[in-house]
């Protein structure tokens, strides 16, 4: 399994939604809610998390799909209401991989 290609996203870049979806897709990365983008990708019934990747490929956060549906993009940064920590507010979002279960985050906060 490989991560995304390392690169810096531009302001007019796209976000890709893939993984356990009926229709992998890319869409312009614009400010606003992302729930409709998740719905358009037709998540598989077993998809319950989304791993959000930063543009440089060095940061990722696995977020329950229920929370992700209420998130917004603001200048490329994910803003998740009532996030338990700031790690969910991923900067420079370029990819959301829908998964069955939580995936490892870049930063382990289990002992925090």
What per-residue confidence (pLDDT) applies to 13?
84
What per-residue confidence (pLDDT) applies to 23?
87
CA distance 40 to 55: 22
Contact 96, 12 (CB under 8 A): no
Domain-wise residue ranges, the chain: 14-88
Enter the tokens of residue 105: 């985050």
What per-residue confidence (pLDDT) applies to 25?
93
Average pLDDT rounded to a whole number, residues 26-40: 93
pLDDT tens column, 52-63:
999 999 999 999
Average pLDDT rounded to a whole number, residues 28-49: 94
pLDDT tens column, 69-98:
999 999 999 999 999 999 999 999 999 999
Enter the tokens of residue 26: 């890319």
Q: pTM for the complete prediction?
A: 0.85
Contact 60, 2 (CB under 8 A): no
CA distance 104 to 62: 7
pLDDT of 4 above 50: no
pLDDT of 45 above 80: yes
């Amino acid at each position: 399994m490989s991560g995304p290609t390392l690169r810096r996203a531009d302001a007019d870049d796209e976000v890709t939604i893939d993984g356990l979806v009926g229709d992998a897709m890319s869409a312009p990365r614009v400010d606003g809610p992302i729930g409709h983008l998740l719905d358009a990708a037709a998540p598989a019934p077993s998809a319950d998390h989304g791993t959000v990747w930063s543009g440089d490929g060095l940061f990722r956060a696995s977020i329950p799909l229920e929370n992700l549906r209420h998130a917004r993009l603001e200048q490329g940064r994910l803003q998740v209401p009532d996030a338990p920590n700031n790690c969910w507010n991923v900067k420079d979002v370029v990819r959301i991989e829908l998964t069955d279960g939580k995936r490892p985050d870049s930063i382990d906060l289990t002992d925090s």
